[in-house]
Structure 1
Amino acid sequence: MPGVAVCSIDRAGIVRFCNQACARLCGVTPQQAIGRRLDELLSRGERETEHAALLEAVWQTGRNGPAGDWIVRAADGREHWVCSTKLPIFQGELGQVFCMDVDITARKHAERTLTLAAQVFENSRDAILLTDSQRRIISVNRAYGGITGFDDSEVLGRPLSLSRAGVEDETFLREVWNQIEVLDHWQGETWSRRRDGEVFPAWLSLTAIRDGRGQVSNYMAILSDITERKRNEEHTRHLAEHDFLTDLPNRVLLLDRLSLALSTARRKGSMLAILFLDLDRFKPINDTLGHLVGDALLREVAVRLLKCVRKVDTVSRQGGDEFVLILADIGGIDHAAHVAEAVRQAIGQPYRIGEHELHISASIGVSIFPSDGDDIDTLIQNADVAMYHAKAGGRDGFRFFSAAMNQRIVERATFENGLRRALDEQQFELVFEPELDVRSGALVGAEALVRWRHPELGLLAPERFLGVAEEAGLMVPIGNWVMREACRHARAWHDDGHQVVVAVNLSLGQFLQRDLLQQVQAALDEAGLAARFLELELTEAIIMQGGAGVADTLRGLRQLGVRLSLDDFGTGWSRLGQLKDYPIDKLKIAQDFLAGGFDATVIRTIIAMARSMDMTVIAEGVETAEQLEFLRGQGCDQYQGYHAVAAARASGLASVLH
């Protein structure tokens, strides 16, 4: 029997005969098999005892053993499924047992595959349908009934189109079946229908099954209910496109709707308006009453804005207290003005938030398509510019955009961007104004003055750019750079043998920064400069506006060892009593008291006051020898200005500072 593995064993289980098929099954040669135990050649693992009992029954009864399927492990480690039969062989008496095994591994794998396929079919969470070549349903799984509500009896023999929702047109369906005809497969989103008539979104996969001749014998459809997924996607999209606080469209959705509105306006030749709105006095409310009150106020503002516009318009929150409105297809500028005024009045009405009655207003900027811009960015930017001017003009009002106001904003923005580049690209420079001893003319100090070497405008004095720097929040990084650079120069002077103090002006922003002391110490450490050679100049405004922590900050600076001077003394509101409380080393007589001659009475008073508090006095803006002579007569210690610069140049001292 070719293909049937046959061997005979004796009572001890020793192989006495082995054909080629059996040897192949065992993974040995016939000669290697003879004389070895069968259970060594073909192990039945956990069923070895069962197999031994079966053999023992054959020996005991002399009858054929029942046929059965077994998993055996050959001597070479391979596993097979076999159908095994035991036959007793009599030679007068029972002398041997023939063991015949047929390798059924391939059949078992096929059966397992079919079983798995049936299990997958029945246990799949997706609906599975099988049709014949004419697309009539011949089988459905349990999930199909669970998803659609149809029983097997209601669908078997019916066309596959039974579950169509009727949403897609015939053209779409033809394209689907054309693709299946060419590629044997199509998948995509579609709509299906339940037994009760409900339409639901589905993911459908259609596959053509071909027979051995290449002809379509069946179609398989796998249908997934994606209702929950679509709901989650819609929720996620809503969160991505709407402000979490007010549920108004956010900037993402605003830009999308504005793009559509612009396309419509271009096509129809109509106008649209952008209103950029910023709430006045919202920050103090948020800061003093807390975010819960502030959030409730913003939600109420959103409700009022929606009542001021049509359904075709869009109200969007950009973040903070800024809102943008799109007025689509307006009849003219008057329409935009009417809505802007309605919004202004609505926002200005009192708000009852909990126990608080609140009052705010709005500054509104308006830009019009196409006169104020032809694209999204330009229209929003110009509305923002107009809003800025509405706020600068007194708040609680609206302004239409104009080219002139835009030019001023562009110039300022360009300057601000240039300042940021200047920091990154090291475009700032220091010049040093000498401070001379009144009596000896010796160089005792130098005030560091920053200049900006603008790539297009040349060297700019500080009055050209420090105002913009302050508005842009750049005074602190610029001031810190000046301090570090000034300390570096001072150390270089010391290395050349000139023990000169360097003076650096502190801005209010610098003075109020939390890490001021660390910044000063870092500048000194980086340059290797002793603290007593750094003098920090403060204005009276810093002392008056610096708050309760002024004295602590000044004492901290004094503990570092740096010197402190009060700049432009006499022009502000400093009182003698205050100065006694602060560790000030030097008073600077303001240039105003020397202009057009000099105010002798004020200068004498300042010098006398400084003397009484053991402070050094320096006069700035000294331009003539007569002014210097007067200061010398009054006991002034130091001076600076045009006359000091000229004297330093004449004596060669100016070269020290380069």
Structure 2
Amino acid sequence: MPDQNAIERCLALCREARSLDGAAQLQALSALEAELAGLKGQSPRAKLSEPVIGMDPAGYITSWNDGAERLFGYTPEEAVGQHVLFLYADDDDQVAELFLEEGTSLMEVRRRKKSGEIFWASLALSMTLDEAGHPAGMVARMSEITERLSDEDKLRLHARIIEDSDQGILITDGEERIVSVNTAFTRITGYSAAEAIGKTPDLLRSGKHTADFRAQVRSAMQGAGPWQGEIFGKRKNGDVFPQSVTISVVRNDKGQITHAFSIFSDISVFKEAEARMQRLANYDTLTGLPNRALLNQLVGQALASARRSRSHGALLVINLQRFHSIYDTLGHEVGDALLGEVSARFRHVLRDEDVLARIDGDKFAVALFEIQKREHAGIVANKLLSKLDAPFEIEEHNLRIGASIGISVYPEDGMDTAALLRYADAARVRVHDNGANGYMFYSPEMNERAKEHLWFESELRRALVGNHLQLHYQPKVSLRSGRIVGAEALLRWKHPDRGMVSPGIFIPVAEETGLILELGTWVLDEACRQIRQWQDAGVDVPPVAVNLSSRQFDRHLPDRIQEVLERHGIAADRIKLEITETLLVRGPDTVIPIMNELAARGLALALDDFGTGYSSLAYLKKFPISTLKIDRAFVIGLPQEENDCAIARAIVTMGQQLRQEIVAEGVETPEQMAFLRDLGCDQLQGYLFSPPVVAGDFERMVRDGKRLNLTVTIEQRAAK
């Protein structure tokens, strides 16, 4: 077998030779000759190379290789220094002139060997340049033509090539009548030779081209110059097909046109592939609707037209509500089918000239061109919302969803596609934040809010990598012993310029942008790291609770938490997981298995903000929850507000019946503490004992055994 390295060297030399000219190329070819000789077990002097002759500008030979010696019979000593004319046959002395005047580089010539034999050779000439780019000589490469075809053989060969070509070829005479076609012509068009000969090329006319275009083609057939392009032809069965065509003419010795020929290929397959690629680039594969790229293009064109005609239009951005819960609960097949049904209903509402696009996930956009007044966009928004009133029957599921719609209008709100989409989305966010289905028109104030939102998102991403986040720990205190029995890890963000940023501001931004997943991962990892540090320092800290977002709650959650615990060497009972009631909306069939797996791994679950969400008491007993937390909204009115007292009493009683631990949040006064203690509440968390504190302060509280004074009276507090 040939040496692979030698083969690779030969390939490199080939590439090098192709990039060079003249003497440099000759040198590279010589090196290639040596390598090839080595591959075949011959010496570098083996006679393998093609004849190559180097010449100076005057035509005197400057180099002569082994191939030239083998072909002509002259040694390098005999040839170098002589004028190249000594190799010419008597009737072939104009090659150099042809090359210099017409640029002809490939030709057949007659040459004379040392023996006197005259032979035909294939000659390739190339110019060599000096460092200044001026002509420095020529290099001739040639090979002997051992079997030269007769004119008759040439005609026969050319006819065979034409007949066997996979391109259709038709030839017309001076009157534009078809005189010859090949087999590929019949295969492509469906017309046999008998059916085509004698007709004009109009036989294939599709009727899709203008008179000007047909005039250009006919002009080429009449000798105006070769023409190449794409046209539509018509097959015998009536099908119209695209073809790539070259048209030119044949002239006789007097320069008169005797024939014209057309060489064409059926490019239907390529056009279909191009159309598929275009569709992939511009249309959503799931719904078949235009995507964001095509929407931008169409709106841009409409805005250009609107500038000229001073017309009005609107952009609507639509976000489906509750879609993610359905998608997470029932899977992507149901979710995809739902998106298809929604797009069909929306399309039914709109005019043919309106554009409906799917721009991202469960987000759609509608472009309304040529509306009379802005209120018309509101009418369309109402129609779109009404199409979501009826449930969607998908498989065995009866699904209901809503939508929030934001509207921007041009030219009032702007004449830039990206800005109009951004403005409509800002209005949509305002509707979404209000928590109801509906629509809203954009106002400049919304844009300021959107800019602030983007700023927070960007800065929050920086905070994740810039060490600007930290955990504070708020103790949980037993209402029986007054001892610290736990803590809740609360995320805090200290911005380098704005200082402490309220969680009420940045947590909603994180939820909406998906950053909550990264934040949740960071909080769990940081809490476990801190617990490990406390344990290594000999501090016996109680369990620490971390909050989970509903977006973190998927089937991979148990494994992710297990990985963090094992990485830091923390036992599962050192961590508690707090979830909110909004998580339960996603459906017990999805949530309960995940909860059960977490509980099976030794992780305790607490239901935070109980009573403020949508939880069903019928389902509550099915969830493996060990702790209920009374929301601060029901604690603040204790013990004066009758309704708050009744709610707190009901939660405590229910928790006791379900054997769940009860923790009251936001306890700030001795009166609240006393009332909750009398109810049988187990723990409190609030400023009465301590606000959230940094890790070092919480560690000191635990080391010092700080306790809540459960005997303090109202009179004593008033005296202070």
TM-score of Structure 1 vs Structure 2, range by shorter chain: 0.5 to 0.7
Find out whether 1:653 has 2:700 as its counterpart.
Answer: yes
Q: Distance in 1 between matches of 2:496 and 2:373?
A: 45
Specify the SS of the correspondent of 2:147: helix
**Is contact 2:584–2:591 with CA below 8 Å preserved after alignment?**
yes
Find out whether 1:454 has 2:495 as its counterpart.
Answer: yes
1:576-631 Cα shifts (integer Å, max 9, x gaps):
x98999684x88787789869979x9999999999999999988767689999999
Find out whether 1:187 has 2:228 as its counterpart.
Answer: yes
Q: 1:375 aligns with which of 391, 416, 435?
A: 416
TM-score, normalised by the number of residues in structure 2: 0.56
Q: How does 1:237-316 map to 2 (within 5 A)?
A: 237=278, 241-242=282-283, 248-277=289-318, 294=338, 297-298=341-342, 301=345, 304-306=348-350, 309=351, 311-316=352-357
Name the counterpart of 1:329.
Answer: 370
**Is contact 1:148–1:193 with CA below 8 Å preserved after alignment?**
no
| CA drift at 1:121 | 1.0
Q: How does 1:205-604 map to 2 (within 5 A)?
A: 205-206=246-247, 220-226=261-267, 230=271, 233-234=274-275, 237=278, 241-242=282-283, 248-277=289-318, 294=338, 297-298=341-342, 301=345, 304-306=348-350, 309=351, 311-318=352-359, 323-337=364-378, 339-340=380-381, 364-389=405-430, 398-423=439-464, 425-433=466-474, 446-507=487-548, 509=550, 512-537=553-578, 547=588, 557=598, 560-561=601-602, 584=626
1:186-229 Cα shifts (integer Å, max 9, x gaps):
42213457799997543112356789999999764312344565
Structure 1 range deviating more: 430-439 or 119-128: 430-439
Q: Distance in 1 between matches of 2:399 and 2:683?
A: 56
Q: Distance in 1 between matches of 2:360 and 2:691?
A: 56
Q: Distance in 1 between matches of 2:222 and 2:703?
A: 89
| CA drift at 1:303 | 5.5
**Is contact 1:382–1:401 with CA below 8 Å preserved after alignment?**
yes
1:431-456 Cα shifts (integer Å, max 9, x gaps):
23456789999877554221123354
* Structure 2 counterpart of 1:304, one-letter code: H
Q: Distance in 1 between matches of 2:585 and 2:396?
A: 36
Shift in alpha-carbon separation, 1:343–1:291, aligned structure 2, 3 A: closer
Q: Distance in 2 between matches of 1:138 and 1:228?
A: 29
Q: Distance in 1 between matches of 2:159 and 2:572?
A: 87
Shift in alpha-carbon separation, 1:368–1:544, aligned structure 2, 3 A: closer
Specify the SS of the correspondent of 1:451: strand
* Structure 2 counterpart of 1:301, one-letter code: R
Structure 2: unaligned runs, 5 residues or longer: 1-69, 71-143, 705-720
1:297-336 Cα shifts (integer Å, max 9, x gaps):
4475256224xx2x54434455776554333233433554
Q: Distance in 2 between matches of 1:459 and 1:190?
A: 68
Shift in alpha-carbon separation, 1:230–1:431, aligned structure 2, 3 A: closer
Q: Distance in 1 between matches of 2:150 and 2:550?
A: 81
Q: How does 1:76-225 map to 2 (within 5 A)?
A: 105-107=146-148, 115-130=156-171, 139-144=180-185, 147=189, 149=191, 167=209, 186-192=227-233, 201-206=242-247, 220-225=261-266
Structure 1 range deviating more: 375-384 or 284-293: 284-293
| CA drift at 1:168 | 5.1
| CA drift at 1:511 | 8.1
Q: Distance in 2 between matches of 1:338 and 1:630?
A: 54
Shift in alpha-carbon separation, 1:557–1:238, aligned structure 2, 3 A: closer
1:155-206 Cα shifts (integer Å, max 9, x gaps):
67x9989977783555896699799999x85422134577999975431123
Q: Distance in 2 between matches of 1:610 and 1:555?
A: 19
1:446-479 Cα shifts (integer Å, max 9, x gaps):
5422112335432224333223334445444423
**Is contact 1:493–1:656 with CA below 8 Å preserved after alignment?**
no
Q: Distance in 2 between matches of 1:278 and 1:261?
A: 23
Shift in alpha-carbon separation, 1:187–1:653, aligned structure 2, 3 A: same
Q: Distance in 2 between matches of 1:234 and 1:609?
A: 64
Q: How does 1:20-39 map to 2 (within 5 A)?
A: none
| CA drift at 1:492 | 1.4
Specify the SS of the correspondent of 1:367: strand
| CA drift at 1:267 | 2.2
| CA drift at 1:258 | 1.9
**Is contact 1:566–1:588 with CA below 8 Å preserved after alignment?**
yes
Structure 1 range deviating more: 260-269 or 218-227: 218-227
**Is contact 1:503–1:537 with CA below 8 Å preserved after alignment?**
no
Q: Distance in 2 between matches of 1:591 and 1:393?
A: 22
Specify the SS of the correspondent of 1:501: coil
1:392-431 Cα shifts (integer Å, max 9, x gaps):
6686754332223343344335434544454455542112
* Structure 1 counterpart of 2:535, one-letter code: H
Shift in alpha-carbon separation, 1:499–1:122, aligned structure 2, 3 A: same
**Structure exhibiting the larger radius of gyration computed from Cα positions:** 1
| CA drift at 1:265 | 1.0
1:114-140 Cα shifts (integer Å, max 9, x gaps):
544322212334332456899887644
* Structure 2 counterpart of 1:328, one-letter code: F
Specify the SS of the correspondent of 1:499: coil
1:508-556 Cα shifts (integer Å, max 9, x gaps):
5278433443333322221123444434456788799984788876775
Specify the SS of the correspondent of 1:484: helix
**Is contact 2:226–2:248 with CA below 8 Å preserved after alignment?**
yes
Shift in alpha-carbon separation, 1:221–1:383, aligned structure 2, 3 A: same
Specify the SS of the correspondent of 2:528: helix
**Is contact 1:248–1:302 with CA below 8 Å preserved after alignment?**
no
Specify the SS of the correspondent of 2:538: coil
Q: Distance in 1 between matches of 2:505 and 2:541?
A: 29
Specify the SS of the correspondent of 2:550: helix
Shift in alpha-carbon separation, 1:446–1:348, aligned structure 2, 3 A: closer
**Is contact 2:625–2:660 with CA below 8 Å preserved after alignment?**
no
Shift in alpha-carbon separation, 1:375–1:450, aligned structure 2, 3 A: same
Shift in alpha-carbon separation, 1:205–1:535, aligned structure 2, 3 A: same
1:351-391 Cα shifts (integer Å, max 9, x gaps):
99999999987754432211122122222333344445556
Aligned residues: 550
Shift in alpha-carbon separation, 1:230–1:171, aligned structure 2, 3 A: closer
Q: Distance in 2 between matches of 1:510 and 1:292?
A: 19
TM-score, normalised by the number of residues in structure 1: 0.61
Q: In angstroms, what is the RMSD of aligned CA positions?
A: 6.3
Structure 1 range deviating more: 144-153 or 218-227: 144-153
**Is contact 2:543–2:574 with CA below 8 Å preserved after alignment?**
yes
**Is contact 1:203–1:224 with CA below 8 Å preserved after alignment?**
yes
Shift in alpha-carbon separation, 1:152–1:448, aligned structure 2, 3 A: same
**Is contact 2:312–2:411 with CA below 8 Å preserved after alignment?**
yes
